[in-house]
Amino acid sequence: MISVAAIFDTSVSLALGILSLSFLVTIYRIVKGPTLPDRILGLDMLVAIAIGFIAVIGIKTGYTLYVDVAIALGLVGFLATVAFARFVLSRGKTEDDILTEAREAASQARREAKVAKRPGQGGATTHATATPAGTGNSSGRQDHE
Amino acid sequence: MNDILTLISAALLVIGSFFALVASIGLLRLPDLYTRMHAASKAGTMGACLMLIALAIHASDVGTMSRALAGVVFFLLTAPVSSHLLAKAAYSVGYRLHSISVMDEMKREDEIQ
């Protein structure tokens, strides 16, 4: 007959292992996640897994002050998700929109550079038209990053 | 009696961590944001709540138990709100559903082909 304490210790270790695995899988989704909302969702999931970790550690060590930490972490995770959702809403464009804008700005800059080069002379005017197009292009890239 | 409570709490721990694992596998495998959200916000919340209930059962004093249950209630209240807000924001900004989705009830009339 296996003792109850042995079963309990085994299940605590098993729970810690499974939680670590799901933590790693969620982190993979956050790193890979193609869009910003995917990453926000991964962050939400990380908070849930961290609360689970806190519960298991609280049971394992008997140090029940961790429950307060879990409640505070839940509050912070909720507020972070709400704030990120407001940010997604106020940004108002998806990653595809930003990529399209950057590509359009780049092709626009290329077209202007070609038009400016064709007359041959007038180096000062060429510079003046090429510079704003170049800055527009680079700011589009920054948006994307 | 004490042994039974310990066994129940051990079982809840394993079940809760299994739910968390299922949620993260869903986060990894499902095709688009909205289906991933369905995995994370339901199974993930369930896993965290089960583990907090295990802590409440295992705790010997009433204070710890009531705080753990308050955490469960708080988590059950906030998780749907935050994921619904995120889904609404993402949809209204224009993140599309995956192409294998069969139904989009929020699609505007002039976009239906």
Which CATH number does the domain housing residue A54 bear? 1.10.287
Indicate whether A109 belongs to any domain: no
Q: Burial, A142: exposed, middle or buried (Cβ in 10 Å; 0-12, 13-18, 19+)?
A: exposed
Cα–Cα distance measured from residue A11 to residue A19, given in angstroms and rounded to the nearest whole number: 12
Indicate whether A19 belongs to any domain: yes
Q: pLDDT-based confidence at B106, cuts 50/70/90?
A: confident
Q: Which one of A26, A71, A92 has the shortest CB-CB distance to B71?
A: A71
Q: pLDDT-based confidence at B105, cuts 50/70/90?
A: confident
C-beta atoms of A55 and B47 within 8 A: no
Region B48-57: mean pLDDT is: 93
DSSP codes joined into one string, chain A: ---HHHHHHHHHHHHHHHHHHHHHHHHHHHHH-SSHHHHHHHHHHHHHHHHHHHHHHHHHH--TTHHHHHHHHHHHHHHHHHHHHHHHHHH---HHHHHHHHHHHHHHHHHHHHHHHTT---HHHHHHHHHHHHHHHHHHHHHH-
pLDDT value of residue B109: 67
Indicate whether A17 belongs to any domain: yes
- From the CB of residue B52, how many other CB atoms can be counted at a distance below 10 Å? 30
Kindly report the pTM of this predicted structure. Answer: 0.80
Of residues B24, B27, B47, B45, the one with CA closest to residue B36: B27
Q: A59: domain range?
A: 4-90
Indicate whether A137 belongs to any domain: no
Indicate whether A26 belongs to any domain: yes
Cα–Cα distance measured from residue B30 to residue B36, given in angstroms and rounded to the nearest whole number: 6
C-beta atoms of A89 and B79 within 8 A: no
C-beta atoms of B17 and A97 within 8 A: no
| DSSP for residue B98 | P
Mutate which: B49, B51, B69, vs A, most A CBs within 10 A: B51
Region A96-125: mean pLDDT is: 81
Cα–Cα distance measured from residue A133 to residue A136, given in angstroms and rounded to the nearest whole number: 5
For residue B44, the surrounding DSSP H or E stretch is none
Indicate whether A133 belongs to any domain: no
Q: Which one of A5, A41, A70 has the shortest CB-CB distance to B71?
A: A70
Residue A34 C-alpha, separation from nearest chain B C-alpha, in angstroms = 10
Q: Which one of A5, A18, A35 has the shortest CB-CB distance to B17?
A: A18
Indicate whether A81 belongs to any domain: yes
Number of folded domains that form chain A: 1
Q: Cα B56 from chain centroid?
A: 19
Residue A142 C-alpha, separation from nearest chain B C-alpha, in angstroms = 20
Which range has highest mean pLDDT (A23-32, A131-140, B89-98)? A23-32
Indicate whether A96 belongs to any domain: no
